Amino acid sequence: MKQEKFEKLVWIMEKLRSDEGCPWDRKQTNETLLPYLIEETYELVDSIEKNDREEIKEELGDLLLQVIFQAQIAKEKGWFDIYEVIENLCEKLIRRHPHVFGEKRIKSAEEVLKHWEKIKSEEGKDNSLLSGVPRSMPPLTRAYYIQKKAEKVGFDWKNWEDVLKKIVEEIEELKESISKREKEKITEEIGDLLFSIVNLARFLNIFPDLALRKTIEKFEVRFKYMEEKAKAQGKTLEEMSLEEMDKIWEEGKERL
């Protein structure tokens, strides 16, 4: 029964891409679908953060659609089909879990991760530990995962206080480059500062993307509060002075 549901999904996508199918679906390519793939991934993240079961179910379906869509286009090109994708995944999962499907004995989750990375490095064409971090990742996320890779071989700070000192050092270097009005140097120092802040977050077991997302959401709530208060006074924010907006902002901070 479950197999039939999957086969039905594959059939629906084949039908949508056929000559008798949907003009929009037939027009798509692996490349044109990329924005939708990224969008659906973020929508799933939102639903998981809200812990909304029905929404998670729907968004997982939307993300699965993107996988099926990409595989169907690949099949039409003669590359592979969805069943080859699944088989490849099954083989990889078995290969990377010798402690489950083989004789190897691993006790802790930490040991599993180390062994996983070792197997991945043996599989890859590029022997660099950092090669498994996609360049297409958002920079903040990519910085985090690159640092996590370096951490696995012991290239890391000894304590969070040292990381904090590095952040202070980067701020001083940024201030100096700003005073000299060196645009390229300012860009470099801002990058160094952001990288160091990601390092601190990682060292404290905080995913920087989630921390920043929460701050953005908090800013949005308080900014909208400020807009509503301004409207209640018969004004727009453009018509207010910075002092007036600051006063409402502080009020919002206390309430929200």
Sorted by where each begins, the domain ranges of the chain are 2-95, 126-206, 210-255
Q: What pLDDT score does 109 carry?
A: 76
Q: What pLDDT score does 133 carry?
A: 85
Q: What pLDDT score does 124 carry?
A: 62
Q: What pLDDT score does 208 carry?
A: 94
Q: For residue 107, what pLDDT band results from cuts at 50, 70 and 90? A: confident
**More confident call, 157 vs 123:** 157
Q: Per residue in 115-143, is it b (16+ CB within 10 Å) or e — as a string?
A: bebeeeeeeeeeeebeeebeeeeeebebb
Tens digit of each residue's pLDDT (9 = 90 or more) over 213-241: 999 999 999 999 999 999 999 999 999 99
What integer best gives the mean pLDDT of the chain?
92
Q: For residue 126, what pLDDT band results from cuts at 50, 70 and 90? A: low
pTM of the model: 0.69
The residues, ordered by sequence, that sit 6+ positions from 116 with a Cβ below 8 Å of its Cβ are 96
The CATH code for residues 126-206 is: 1.10.287.1080
Whether 18 has a pLDDT exceeding 70, the answer reads yes
Helix axes 208-232, 183-203, angle to 10 degrees: 110
Q: What pLDDT score does 203 carry?
A: 93
**Considering just the CA atoms, what is the radius of gyration of the chain in Å?**
25
The CATH code for residues 2-95 is: 1.10.287.1080
Q: What pLDDT score does 130 carry?
A: 80
Rounded-to-integer distance, Cα 39 and Cα 79, Å:
25
